[in-house]
Chain A
């Protein structure tokens, strides 16, 4: 089993004719993702990697059935595309673009809530249910089926950790990228709830970082509601306060969101925090 997506999830690619969109359409098809159509205003009638292209999400849905969409376009156009997908009735949106203005992101989240839709990202690598489907840009070969659920705020660091697991012979159920921005759709708690309910997931890895209070909120949830073991890694221990470390969220401001407060909260909830990303797989082995 898996969470959010499986081999039956039908996916649209918005921005499919762009460089990123077309490349990752090919990668997703290779992985086994059921991509039923692409959207690119003004380019309807073309094909990309054998996938039919439509002028709008509405037009795509007149011709195909789909539940989910992945968005590739420059940040200034992301709000319009996301609103269109939500209005057309899609229930799961993966927002790949980085640098979407915060006020745009907040409007997208508010409309998604009204439509009971799930937003992954923005500024995410997407999500993958190992061995069955991926809606994202992660490298295919590290995501093999197994018993561990992974939820992460950062991309490459997550690949690093999943790569280690794979090398140790441990696969994953679903791997979810929350996104590096300050306002994102899915939070740790949403994904932890799903993993707790998923029969195949026997342990969960949380990859967090400094900034914000998402890890502290997750810790309180784990303490109260999680029966499955949770292992964490947090990036940014050495980061000085007031300096934004790449991700919009990764900044220690006014003494909030420090590494120490997160570790304390997680340890207090019974979550083991690995001191190096390379030590996660042995911690996971010890709880499986």
Chain B
């Protein structure tokens, strides 16, 4: 779960990580009032998409009138389809140098990694590899002062700035661990006459750990349909095409989408209804897909934990209760496939044994 910048900064504040003074505002008038209080300000759209600066979602203002004007301009903008509901109005800080600092998780090393660079402020992808220091943190010992000194040495930092980092990094490390973060990124990390200040905050919390963080708000980037799928505990992603796809398992679902494209079709979605779903959950998955009004329905089941008779029974239930008018291509093999096929045959529904044939049939039906 990605957090808005202002929420990230609230958390920073809780962990004693310096951030600029600010006001969160919901309309242009409030932005003007905030500027009256804070003086020279930066006005920042609170959206989750990156590159909001390049898109014009960040503006400077030196008086309340200007702040009102800029705020109302940003409120009217759209960022990858999302409008900002709130703006963060911050005091403009005196920046001597823009740095970069992040804690994230390195799957290759199976541990957290510190990323640090003297080249901050720009898109992190544009920082040359040799200017980005990467330090994996061994979980069995955690972040130690020697690691911070080493990161500083590799960056070419010493003296007062190193002392600043020795104070700053352990706070970010503690927050990263305690809040089950996947990412805690500060770009730019501003060096000011008063020391290091987090000028931005990009914090992502591990979805699988949210159950132990009731104190955090819930934020969703999902569409209404994706949210409904989430309530049903389905992995669902909306796509652009017209062939609705339902399969069991993330890998096989991706492979099914790839195969649809390979044969010239366009998938309407990714829907993995998981392993071992019962009739109820399988029916709900089907109903969700039918609600998207696709042209063709493609079901690809290779039963392991998932039982073919359960899928067949769910299909028949939905067909009888709400009717399934659109053409269907149904592949069904694996655990209890004979039982499953028998249930479908009674309803006059044929199934394929091979994934390849089922996908090709679905693509033909969509043409």
Contact = CB atoms under 8 A, between A and B. Distances in A.
Interface residues of B, number: 52
Interface string A247-260: 11110001100000
Contacts of A152: 251
A160 to B, nearest CB: 5
Interface stretch (A36-44, A63-71, A83-91, A232-240): A232-240
Nearest to A160: B302
A76 B108 contact: no
Given A238-B257, A240-B239, A106 B125 contact: no
B255 A109 contact: no
B254 A236 contact: yes
B273 to A, nearest CB: 10
B257 A239 contact: yes
Interface string B250-263: 11111101111110
A75 B208 contact: yes
B272 interface: yes
Contact of A235 (B180, B206, B239, B258): B258
B176 to A, nearest CB: 9
Contacts of B247: 156
Interface string B87-129: 0000000000000000001011011100000000000110000
Contact of A109 (B139, B251, B267, B305): B139
Q: Among the interface residues B107, B138, B257, B270, which one has the most CB atoms of the partner chain A within 10 A?
A: B107
Nearest to B138: A110
B224 interface: no
Interface of B: 105, 107-108, 110-112, 124-125, 138-140, 177, 180, 182, 206, 208-209, 211-212, 235, 237, 239, 247-255, 257-262, 267, 270, 272, 275-276, 302-305, 333-335, 354-356
Interface of A: 20, 75-76, 99-107, 109-111, 113-114, 125, 137-139, 152-160, 163, 180, 182-185, 187, 207, 209-210, 212-214, 217, 233, 235-240, 243-250, 254-255, 275-278
23 contacts: A101-B180, A102-B182, A106-B112, A106-B139, A107-B139, A138-B304, A153-B251, A155-B249, A156-B249, A157-B252, A160-B302, A182-B105, A213-B107, A237-B261, A240-B239, A245-B235, A245-B237, A246-B254, A246-B270, A247-B250, A275-B262, A276-B259, A278-B356
